[in-house]
Chains A and B, each alone.
Chain A
Amino acid sequence: MNLGKFIERLLHLVPVLLGVSLIAFLMMAVTPGDPVEIMLGDQQVTEEQRIALREDMGLDLPLPQRFGHFLKNAVTGDFGISYFHRRPVSQVILERMPATIELTLVSLLVALLVAIPLGVLAAVKKNTLFDRVATLGSLMGISLPGFWFGLLLILFFGVTLQILPVSGRSDLGSSIAPVTHFLLIDTLLVGNLAAFRSAVAHLVMPALTLGLPMAAVLMRVTRTSMLEVLRQDYVTFAEAKGLAPMRVLFRHALKNALIPTVTVAALEVGSLLGGSMIVETVFGWPGLGRVVVESIFTRNYPLIQASILLYAVIYVLLNFLADILYTVLNPRVRL
């Protein structure tokens, strides 16, 4: 890939990131209610202390200047104090983010593992009963409200069969010393298989809830691109050469058919992060999404603001990555 084009594309991110920051800033800056009052809560303070706090938080400055401060602080990871936790927002985010990332990545894995085989099979068996059932299944998948699907899983696997835990991240997690903060990895690092099993069991339902709707989208993409590839001359040629059908499918067709799937998957990780708020609420998953939802009720605006900005920046970077990935995987496309 051309380095000049890469840098040009990278520079395009600057106005978008600035705009994203401006919106995240304005969203909370114009929110009714005095941040000082919310932060103080029931605490009794003098008027002087109140004014000092206001100055300390930069609330006495004009809006453009406040935005400048916000940007400067955001770059250094300083998002102020979480009103509810009474700790720096960045600390709360760092604490909660690994659980959300772990859930997101496992959900992505679930989505890919379900979508790719089903998508390929649906394309190979085009217009058969299997294809129709798979298409209907994918339509169901994109129509399912995540919060309801999660509750149904709880009802079936947690309440009726009682084979999966319905809430939390692990029964034994607190006894594991965090190394990477990803419980699946940490439990393996210390060789605690019981804790690992518990972590996996806790992940099953949230990951299915988050991953299956995404699998529905990816399955459709895989099916369509596979159909496209199967029509290409080089596939016909490979078949004419007498190669085994499986070899043609996996060695020749699948490699190219997966390019759109991988690109869309990279884009959809942003949606997974967004959807994690619902899933974390349903399953009491101790991630960032749940804290964001709780923050609305405690009017913990700095945390909401920082999370919105963080998620948006991740999303922008993922989009960028997806673009690059698409160009790398498919050299015919130029940036």
Chain B
Amino acid sequence: MSVNPALLSESPAQLDTPLRRSLRTFLRNRSAVGAVGVVLLFVLIAIFAPWIAPHDPNDTDLLRRLQPPVWIEGGEWTYLLGCDALGRDLLSRIIYGSRVSIFIGTAVVVLATGIGIVAGLLAGYLRGWVDTVISRLVDILLAFPYLLFAIGLMAMMGPGLENIILALAYKEWVIPCRLVRGETLALREVEYVEAARAVGAPAWYIMAREILPNILSPVIVVSTIRMAHVIILEASLSFLGIGVQPPTASWGSLVADGRSFIMDAWWISTFSGFAILALVLAINVASQGLRDAFDPRLQE
């Protein structure tokens, strides 16, 4: 009997694990890796905003009202992208705006994924009335158009950072919940889960230690896809004037600020919106790469 010599020379630690294979597939996808780089760049900009921004984002100077970007006559190097209607530096406001988008996007997705995992595990594993209640609630929440639901909640709770996070998370959790429920339903019947049940492991242990680790990769992939969606929703709420309130700079409200001056000062809305597009596109490309590498089943 012949033995593959490569297998003999490899220690168990060197054997190819699914995680390593997925990571290699992901790293081969150049556009996805580039997109991760862009996302990381935005994160760094958000973290180091006070050091990077050339000016205080809330410093007004009416003499610089609607000052154009540097390459247009009247612009100057110290105000690279020009100024808004109150003479505030646009670049600094865009840099600070990244903090709001990234913070809200991350907070909503983390909160919603946490709730969704717990609810989905309970519904999928315990079944019975717990599943009926959770699944009905999911059906009901899915019936509301997302933005309208968030608008209704914001009208109820009033504007503010915490309220935006809550307004978006109230509906967002149903997405991971549905996914986790489906995966749990499939996994609760497999041998190793049945074996754990047979030796008397409690339900919480089986959910947390046997099922959860095996469903995390699709959950993470879907969470990254949802992050892009949440960032656009937050920007939409801020654009409508019911999200982040002035003078705090947020990309959505910057686009709204520039809307009144679109004829004379197109740069305000254009550059602010471009920042949203760049971040959201990068997240979408990266999450598509993650999906292809870590969970190809999720492809359309």
Contact = CB atoms under 8 A, between A and B. Distances in A.
Interface of A: 15-16, 19-20, 23-24, 27-28, 30-32, 139-140, 142-149, 151-152, 154-155, 159, 220-221, 224, 270-271, 273-275, 277-278, 281-282, 292-293, 295-297, 299, 301, 304-305, 307-308, 311-313, 315-316, 319
B136 A20 contact: no
Contacts of A23: 140-141, 144
A167 to B, nearest CB: 12
Contacts of A220: 300
Given A23-B140, A154-B262, A139 B152 contact: no
**Interface of A (DSSP majority class):** helix
A142 B280 CA distance: 9
B228 A293 contact: no
A20 B140 contact: yes
Contact of B147 (A28, A221, A277): A277
B145 A274 contact: yes
11 contacts: A19-B137, A19-B139, A23-B140, A32-B156, A143-B277, A145-B255, A148-B269, A159-B263, A220-B300, A297-B241, A304-B152
Interface residues of B, number: 48
B147 A16 contact: no
B298 to A, nearest CB: 12
A207 B286 CA distance: 29
B131 to A, nearest CB: 14
A224 B296 CA distance: 14
Contacts, number: 141
Nearest to B147: A274
A281 B228 CA distance: 22
Contacts of A297: 241
Given A16-B143, A147-B239, 17 more contacts: A16-B139, A19-B139, A24-B152, A31-B155, A139-B281, A142-B284, A143-B281, A147-B256, A151-B273, A154-B262, A159-B266, A282-B259, A296-B151, A296-B242, A297-B241, A307-B148, A312-B144
A155 B277 contact: no
Contacts of A281: 240
Given A27-B152, A311-B145, A139 B288 contact: yes
A19 B140 contact: yes
Nearest to B156: A31
A152 B153 CA distance: 29
B250 to A, nearest CB: 12
Interface in B154-177: 154-156, 158
Contact of A148 (B148, B228, B255): B255
A147 to B, nearest CB: 5
B156 A30 contact: yes
A308 B144 contact: yes
Contacts of A312: 143-145
A296 B155 contact: yes
Contact of B151 (A142, A155, A277, A282): A277
Contacts of A24: 152
Interface string B117-146: 000000000000000000011011101111
Interface string B11-34: 000000000000000000000000
B276 A145 contact: yes
B285 interface: yes
Among B155, B241, B259, B276, the most chain A Cβ lie within 10 Å of the Cβ of: B155
A245 B74 CA distance: 59
Interface in B219-249: 228, 232, 235-236, 239-242
The 8 closest A-B pairs by CB, nearest first: A274-B145, A148-B273, A19-B140, A143-B281, A224-B300, A143-B280, A31-B156, A312-B143
A299 to B, nearest CB: 8
A120 B228 CA distance: 27
A292 B148 contact: yes
Contacts of A146: 236
B103 interface: no
Q: Which of A24, A151, A220, A270 has the most CB of B within 10 A?
A: A151
A312 B171 CA distance: 13
A301 B155 contact: yes
